[in-house]
Structure 1
Amino acid sequence: MAKRSALYAIAAPAPSSARTLIEHAYARLRDDIVSGQLVPGEKLRVEHLKERYGVSAGTLREAITRLASDALVVTEGQRGFRVAPITTEDLEDITNLRVQIETEALRQSIRTGDAQWRQRVEQAFAAISAEEPIAPGRRHAWEQLNTRFHEALLSGHASPWTVHVLRLLSRHTERYRSFAMALPGCVRDVHAEHTAIFEYTMAGQDARAALALEAHIRTTPDLLIQALREGRASLPGSAAPLLEGKGLQDS
């Protein structure tokens, strides 16, 4: 009986205060990875980072372990953790998966969405339109509104798993978008892209809306691949300008 009680004690959840600290550390680390402040491939040294984030080593390890389950961090056996690398092969995979899931979810949402759904989409579009073009220092706010807009589009067809999967893919996409948006000569009218998706959606034209959404999703990888091809950029964490794998040449 004592043995069973000991096992239960080990498996018991952390107190709410500890969970709050873990959540806070997880969110800060995730944002720093997604924004590129923690560089792809960078070793996550717990003893150094605990000072930066103001938490204990144990709390930091818990947060990093959660990030590993999100594929934003990779484990190295007994050697610790590193920020997950970014490659064109990875970007291609993420992009194709987003296109498959998100465009079909939008079509279903347009077909089944009600008046409340339309109102959510209209409000989300108005909110992000007010932040475009993206002002320096406002990228984090814009990213939150961008997520809200995309989720509102799909909310007419309730699917918790679709939302869960797309949120994970969105964080990975944002890593590449953060890099692509800083490229010299990167010209893109995101507001026009959002407007096309919104107008087709509100008009009930599910096929056109899905095509506009696919073009929107593929624009970031296309711009990034072009810059890599032309030698104007190299991916963070790589030793030289690169096009790893076949990239998105056929996308």
Structure 2
Amino acid sequence: MSSPTLTDKVSKMIHQDILNGVLLPGQKLVVADLKQRYAVGASPIREALVQLSWTKYVNLEPQKGCWVAPVSISELTDLYDSLRFVTSVLIKQAIEVGDESWELDVLTSFHKLSRIKLSKDDFDWTEWEERQHQFHVALLEGAVSKNMLNFFSDLINQVKRYRYYAVVNGLDNSAINLDEYEIIMKLVLAKDAGQAAEKFDAHLNRTKEQIQQIIEAAA
């Protein structure tokens, strides 16, 4: 058995290659090819693929092999419907019980997001996606429901694969509306739970529609 550290390292590399579109949705993952690509033995490759199957980034079938998880509008819709449901509950809870430390995290995560240069020449999609991801997480971390937060974490990481798929396949940064994020942040800090939940829901739905257009165009 390989060391956990090496397995985790390989898992992160495969994970990143899936996000960046180096490994494509539906592509079969052959251990011999991956050994050559990542310059490691078969054992950490196999263990990494098992790890990635737990997070649903790959599909693993005993005796048949392993594939990068495909993308589909039906799964996208299911993920976002679930995400919109759980975030509606969590954002209201976070606003109700979140302390000053949580408020500072929300403000800091928005500030970092707003510092990204949106001009086409200087724009860094990867940096934007990571900071947007952290903003979404920060909004809800003030909630106290650990089970729902774990569910949210699982959903947002699956959605992340779809967001990157859209970026790789031509999503234009003109689709970004920074004012939308600022409005959500201000409503959260103003403790307006109803409006904050409504605006966040609309934001998630708009993002889902953008990704769906990319999937449809690529079909």
**Shared fold (TM-score greater than 0.5)?**
yes
2:88 pairs with 85, 91, 103, which one?
A: 103
Among 52, 68, 75, the alignment partner of 1:67 is 52
Matching residue within 38, 41, 63 for 2:26 = 41
CA shift at 1:74, angstroms? 0.8
Map Cα deviations across residues 142-172 of structure 1 (whole Å, 9 max, x no partner).
2222222112111212333333322322222
* Distance verdict in 2 for CA 1:184–1:178, change over 3 Å: closer
Q: Deviations over 1:97-122 (max 9, x none)?
A: 00011121011000111111111111
Alignment match, 1:207 = 194
Separation (CA, whole Å) in 2 of partners of 1:91 and 1:97: 10
Report the CA distance shift for 1:156/1:134 in structure 2 as closer, same or farther (over 3 A): farther
Comparing 21-30 and 86-95, the one that deviates more:
21-30
Question: How many aligned residue pairs are there?
Answer: 217
Match for residue 4 of structure 1? none
Distance 1:227 1:38, change over 3 A: closer
Q: What is the letter of the counterpart of residue 146 of structure 1?
A: Q
Question: 1:118 pairs with 99, 103, 108, which one?
Answer: 103
TM-score relative to the length of structure 1: 0.79
Which secondary structure does the structure 1 equivalent of 2:131 belong to? helix
More helix by share: 2
1:133 partnered with 2:118: yes
Quick one: structure 1 residues 200 and 216, their matched pair in 2 at CA, closer, same or farther if it must change by over 3 Å? same
Unaligned ranges ≥5, structure 2 = none
Quote how far apart the aligned CAs of 1:228 are.
5.7
1:24 counterpart = 2:9: yes
C-alpha distance in structure 2 between counterparts of 1:167 and 1:35, whole Å: 20
Structure 2 SS opposite 1:75 = strand
Mean CA deviation greater in 192-201 or 40-49: 192-201
1:159: which partner in 2? 145
TM-score by length of 2: 0.89
Superposition deviation, residue 132 in structure 1: 4.7
- Contact 2:7 2:45 (8 Å CA) reproduced: yes
Aligned CA RMSD, in angstroms, stands at 2.2
Following the alignment from structure 2 to structure 1, what is the Cα–Cα distance between the partners of residues 81 and 135? 20
Aligned with 2:147: secondary structure?
helix
Query: Which amino acid letter does the alignment assign opposite residue 204 of structure 1?
Result: K
Moved more, 188-197 or 133-142: 133-142
Q: C-alpha distance in 1, partners of 2:138/2:123?
A: 25
Residue 81 of structure 1 aligns to a residue in which SS?
A: strand
| Matching residue within 138, 145, 149 for 2:135 | 149
Segments of 5+ residues of structure 1 without an aligned counterpart are: 1-13, 235-240, 242-251
What SS does the corresponding residue of 1:217 show, helix, strand or coil? helix
